[in-house]
Amino acid sequence: MKKFFLFFLIFCFFVYRSVSAEDWLNVLETKEIAAVTEDVSLLNLLNGIYLTADQVEELIALAAEVQKTRDAFVARNQKLQDQYLLVLKEFKTVLQANEGFSAGEQKKVQDIEQQLKMQQQGFYADIKDFDRRLNDILDDSQKYIIQRFQPCIIPPQELSNPIRAGQAGSDLSAIENILLLINRLPPKAYESFVEDFVDNLLFDREVHFGVMAPEEKEQERKRLLSVAEEARRMTEEDVLIHKTRLAKQMVHYYEEISRKFNDFLELNSAMHGGLSRAGQYLLNPRVLPLLEAHLQSLTKQGGKRRREEYVPKKKPTMQNLALQLEMEQRQKLPVWDVIYSGKVRMWDLLQKPRKDHRNMIQEIQDLESSDLQDIKKMQKFLELLSLSVPGGRTTYLEEINKIKKDVERKLSDILTKEQMVRLKILKIDILDIEK
């Protein structure tokens, strides 16, 4: 009797799914509602990771391969599943008659379960290979968003307009592009730009790893500037060869946290059939038609965007800023007044006529409408701002920085310290905010 009871417990562990109160309630949700809810959640994720058309095309091809492999597995597995169902029905009959299981019946179910397990392991091996290919398609910032994603019908604010915390440390391509820019800039533009760039890197480090002691911060500043200087002394060809090494030097302090994060991903993967978080969502059987629709949507929005193409961003609004900073009602109007006065000052600066009767606004408009690549536009833009303001000795960049610092100083009198830190984390141009 004890042997029977032990076998019964093991059998229940494999095949019995307890009926909780939640399961009883779930019968009220139709299969159609559940399927559409799953689709909506997957669409929220697809929209939230900002896939390029190239990526979507690669994902569609991968999803089609996964579907073919899955169909073949189901076909091979069906005969065994049918046998397993007959055994379960036999066990049900035995239990209803309150009888015991024979040794032969016990061995039969154990053999089938072993065969099912072996087939499942073979399928997992195939899917894990697809999972590796999937993660090669996605960039690190997209994987970061997927890791934090929770299935939802209404997308959370950070997904519809994500603040990519940690992106500076995980997406080396952004640092690499800046190193190329540093190599190409004229002296005046470089001097102003590199200081802001290093300040942002130091701020990111303190946000993620805690405030540094003044001596440590100054030492780190010198180290970062030395890496920038190394990139500046190189030829453009050498920067292209060594940009990844230099970028890693810029953000070397992320390596330890990246290692811990990868350890966590491996543990999480082991708990879900060996699949990464991205694989759990994007290798889903329902994802293929959604990807195909997503590609059509991208095409309608102006053609297939490629990774290297410039993608203009929407300008931040005062309403969004107030939400992000959780402003009180009494803060909103004074904050906008400060920002607006800064915008007017910058507009007056850029409208100053030069000897050729043109102004900086016209130059910037011509640049924006040009066919130059994004990094070339940024280089030309900084070159323009490094020119001297008509009738003065300072550059446009120096004057704009003065305006921004004045705006930030006035905002610090209105906003709390916590709100000012949040504002910096947002990494938006304060003078770019619209009403």
Q: Which helix (H) or strand (E) holds 264?
A: helix 255-270
Q: pLDDT value at position 232?
A: 92
Q: Which amino acid is at 344?
A: V
Q: Select from 390, 386, 380, 388 the least CA-distant residue to 356.
A: 390
Q: pLDDT value at position 11?
A: 41
pLDDT tens-place values along the chain, 435 residues long: 444 443 443 444 344 333 333 443 444 445 666 677 777 778 888 887 888 888 889 999 998 998 888 888 888 878 788 888 887 887 788 777 777 667 777 777 778 778 877 777 777 777 888 888 988 898 877 887 787 676 655 554 444 344 332 333 345 677 888 888 888 888 877 887 888 888 888 887 776 667 788 899 999 999 999 999 999 999 988 888 888 888 888 887 665 555 554 554 454 454 445 677 788 888 888 888 888 888 887 777 654 444 433 344 556 888 888 888 889 999 999 999 999 999 999 999 999 998 888 899 898 888 888 888 777 787 788 888 888 899 888 888 888 889 999 999 999 999 998 888 888 877 788 888 888
Dist CA 279 CA 285 (whole Å)? 11
Q: Is the pTM of this model over 0.85?
A: no
Conformational region of residue 391, where left means phi above 0, alpha means psi within -120 to 50, and beta covers everything else: left
Q: What is the crossing angle of helices 396-412 and 374-385, to 10°?
A: 90
Paired residues of 388 in beta bridges:
395
* C-beta of residue 105 within 8 angstroms of C-beta of residue 137: no
CA 111 to chain centre: 45
Q: pLDDT value at position 83?
A: 81
Q: 203 in helix, strand or coil?
A: helix
Signed CA dihedral, 407, 412, 414, 416: sign only: positive
Dist CA 381 CA 363 (whole Å)? 9
Q: Select from 306, 174, 185, 187 the least CA-distant residue to 243.
A: 174
